[in-house]
C-alpha cells in the first residue's frame, strides 16, 4: 500500500533525480498538452490538483488565474512546491485516500493518478465527494492501446499490451488503461462520463526519442490533437458528479469511507 515513505522514495528516484534521461521529453509533452487540459475547465473555477510532480500543471493553472489548491502525499514534493510558490499556493499534505477537504471544488484534476494507486474505483468514489454536485473530475492515464505499445507487441518486445515496462515500474505504475476500462471505472465510481480525449502520438519508446527537438515534440503534440485518442500515449475522461439529495450524498460518503478502510 502506498505510504508517504514510498512516495518520497518515488520522488527521489524520478522527480528529484538528476539521472532520469527522459525528463525533458516528458516535461515537454506535459507543457504542450497543459493548455488543452485547462481549456476544458470553466474560467475561474476552484480546482484541486492531485500530485505535484515537476509542478508544470500547477504553474499553468496559476498563470491562467484559477483558484487552485494542491494535494500531495510526498513530504519532499510538498516542500518543493512550497519553496517554488510560497504561501500563495494552498498545499494539502495527505495521502489521497485519507484526504478530507474543507471545501468543495468546481473541479478535481487526477492526472496520472489511477495507474499508481491500489484501489482505483474506491479512490474515485472518494474523489467524487470533493467536487460540488455537478462538478467535474478530470482523469488522465497511460493508454495500453497506444501506437508505441502496439508496435512493441508486434516486435515481440512485450507479450501483452498491458505489460508494464521497466520505466512503468520506475515511476510507480501498477496498471495501464484503455478508454473502455477507464470509462468502466468512472461509471463504477458513480460519476457520469462527459467527454474523452488524448494526448501525444507516441510511436517509439522514450529511450528512442531523446534526440527529438522541442520543435519536433511540439509539432507531434499539435498533430495529436487531430487524431483519435485511442491511438495516443495518454487518454483522458472528463466526468461530472451527479446531483444528489442530501440523504443519498451522506450514504455515498459513508460507503466510500468504508471501502477505503
- Residue whose C-alpha is closest to residue 152's, from 173, 166, 172, 170: 166
What value does the mean pLDDT take over residues 191-195?
A: 97
At 83-121, the pLDDT tens digits run 999 999 999 999 999 999 999 999 999 999 999 999 999
pLDDT at position 173: 92
pLDDT for residue 257: 43
Write the pLDDT tens digit of every residue in 39-89.
999 999 999 999 999 999 999 999 999 999 999 999 999 999 999 999 999
Question: Does 258 have pLDDT greater than 80?
Answer: no
Q: What does the pLDDT read at residue 248?
A: 53
The residue range of the domain holding 214 is 4-259
| pLDDT of res. 2 | 82
CA distances from residue 175 to 9, 23, 151, 228 in whole angstroms, order as listed: 19, 21, 19, 22
- Rounded Cα–Cα distance for residues 99 and 110 (Å): 14
Q: How confident is the model at residue 253 (pLDDT cuts 50, 70, 90)?
A: very low
pLDDT, one tens digit per residue, over 15-34 is: 999 999 999 999 999 999 99
Structural domain total, the chain:
1
**pLDDT, tens only, 129-153:** 999 999 999 999 999 999 999 999 9
Q: What is the pTM of this model?
A: 0.89
Provide the pLDDT for residue 170: 87
pLDDT score, position 261: 42
pLDDT digits (tens, 9 = 90+) for 215-237: 999 999 999 999 999 999 999 99
- What residues have CB less than 8 Å from 145, skipping those under 6 apart? 161, 178, 179, 230, 231
CATH code of 153's domain: 3.40.50.150
What is the separation of C-alpha 3 from the centre of its chain, rounded to a whole number of angstroms? 18
158-188 pLDDT, tens digit each? 999 999 988 899 888 999 999 999 999 999 9
DSSP, residue by residue, 29-58 = HHHHHHHHHHTTSPTT-EEEEE--TTSHHH
Alpha-helix residue ranges (DSSP H) falling in 86-241: 120-128, 147-154, 166-170, 179-188, 214-224
Amino acid at each position: 500500500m502506498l505510504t508517504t515513505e514510498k512516495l518520497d522514495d518515488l520522488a527521489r528516484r524520478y522527480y528529484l533525480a538528476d539521472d532520469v534521461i527522459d525528463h525533458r521529453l516528458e516535461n515537454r509533452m506535459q507543457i504542450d498538452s497543459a493548455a488543452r487540459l485547462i481549456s476544458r475547465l470553466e474560467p475561474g473555477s476552484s480546482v484541486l490538483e492531485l500530485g505535484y510532480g515537476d509542478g508544470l500543471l500547477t504553474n499553468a493553472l496559476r498563470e491562467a488565474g484559477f483558484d487552485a489548491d494542491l494535494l500531495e502525499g510526498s513530504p519532499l514534493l510538498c516542500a518543493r512546491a512550497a519553496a517554488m510558490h510560497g504561501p500563495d499556493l494552498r498545499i494539502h499534505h495527505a495521502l489521497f485516500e485519507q484526504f478530507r477537504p474543507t471545501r468543495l471544488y468546481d473541479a478535481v484534476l487526477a492526472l496520472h493518478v489511477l495507474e499508481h494507486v491500489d484501489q482505483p474505483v474506491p479512490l474515485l468514489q472518494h474523489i467524487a465527494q470533493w467536487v460540488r454536485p455537478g462538478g467535474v473530475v478530470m482523469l488522465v492515464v497511460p493508454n495500453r492501446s497506444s501506437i508505441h505499445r502496439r508496435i512493441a507487441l508486434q516486435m515481440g518486445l512485450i507479450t501483452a499490451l498491458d505489460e508494464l515496462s521497466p520505466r512503468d515500474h520506475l515511476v510507480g505504475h501498477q496498471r495501464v488503461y484503455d478508454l473502455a476500462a477507464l470509462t468502466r471505472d468512472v461509471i463504477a465510481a458513480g460519476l457520469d462520463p462527459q467527454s474523452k480525449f488524448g494526448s501525444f502520438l507516441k510511436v517509439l519508446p522514450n529511450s528512442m526519442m531523446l534526440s527529438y527537438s522541442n520543435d519536433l515534440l511540439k509539432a507531434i503534440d499539435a498533430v495529436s490533437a487531430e487524431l483519435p485518442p485511442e491511438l495516443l500515449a495518454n487518454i483522458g475522461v472528463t466526468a461530472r458528479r451527479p446531483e444528489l439529495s442530501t440523504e443519498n450524498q451522506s450514504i455515498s460518503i459513508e460507503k466510500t469511507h468504508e471501502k477505503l478502510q
